[in-house]
Copies of this chain bind each other. A is one copy, B any other.
Amino acid sequence: MSEKARRDCDWCGLRRICFPARLPTNAGMGPGALGIRGVQLPRGRALYRAGDRLDGFHMIRSGCVKEIERIAGNEAIVDFRLPGELLTVQGPAGTRSRITCVAVEPSNLCAVPWRSFLAICGRFPAVNGEMVRALAANAAGTRELLATVRDKAALERVAAFLASLCARMQVRGLPAQELRLGMGRDDIAAYLGLRSETVSRCFSELERRAVVRVRAKRVRILSAERLRRLARREGEARAPAVGHAG
């Protein structure tokens, strides 16, 4: 079982926490022995809600979840999480969640209790560093989103969104040319600080430019390179407008 788990977890961003060292398979380590629980979520179901007490942290294995937080009086989409990613860590054991976490498509997650985590930390000091690294990586992701919505025009934001999804699938070795967007246009718009109409217009514009092909929730990346350049506002000459002005 440990061998199989090891294989299943190979592509996971947190594998170094669950498998801190090259262990003999009979060392009793691995998800099961650590008290890590698997969780299945149907579409639309919440993993937890704002106000719930959390005694561990979560990681997603398949599907897609969105994290929502009430900030200054309105619901903000914090992030979408893809397979292999760590959900926002909000504090040590007993912390009340400020975030509601909902599956946008049927999803499969791991719940890691702090209790187990601390036990592993005691045995393998490097795990502490792995957690700091993982938290720092998530924070860097939020800063990147911040920079995107703060400094980029609509078309660039949408390009950056698609480029990000694509890149995140790739690093885990998952299919990245043909994306299935679990979320609707409204969610994408809220995430990027736009309106759903604008997101639509941007998708259309990207299609007109032959960068992607969009059919409802199915997106085919025609040129990841041009997508990335667009997202970085390099070349592509800042076209007069995104849609209706043409």
Contacts and interface: CB of A to CB of B under 8 A. Distances in A.
A69 interface: yes
A39 interface: no
Interface string A77-99: 01000000000111111010010
Nearest to A134: B91
Given A88-B139, A146-B145, A72 B160 contact: yes
B147 A72 contact: yes
A233 interface: yes
A142 interface: yes
Contacts of A132: 89, 91-92, 131, 135
B234 A147 contact: no
A148 interface: yes
Contacts of A129: 91-93, 114
A231 B148 CA distance: 22
A138 interface: yes
A228 to B, nearest CB: 9
A144 B228 CA distance: 27
A51 interface: no
A151 B193 CA distance: 6
Given A95-B133, A142-B143, A145-B146, 7 more contacts: A72-B231, A88-B139, A92-B128, A121-B128, A131-B132, A142-B146, A149-B150
19 contacts: A71-B147, A71-B148, A72-B231, A73-B232, A73-B233, A73-B234, A76-B146, A76-B150, A89-B139, A92-B128, A92-B132, A95-B136, A118-B128, A138-B139, A139-B139, A142-B142, A142-B143, A146-B149, A149-B193
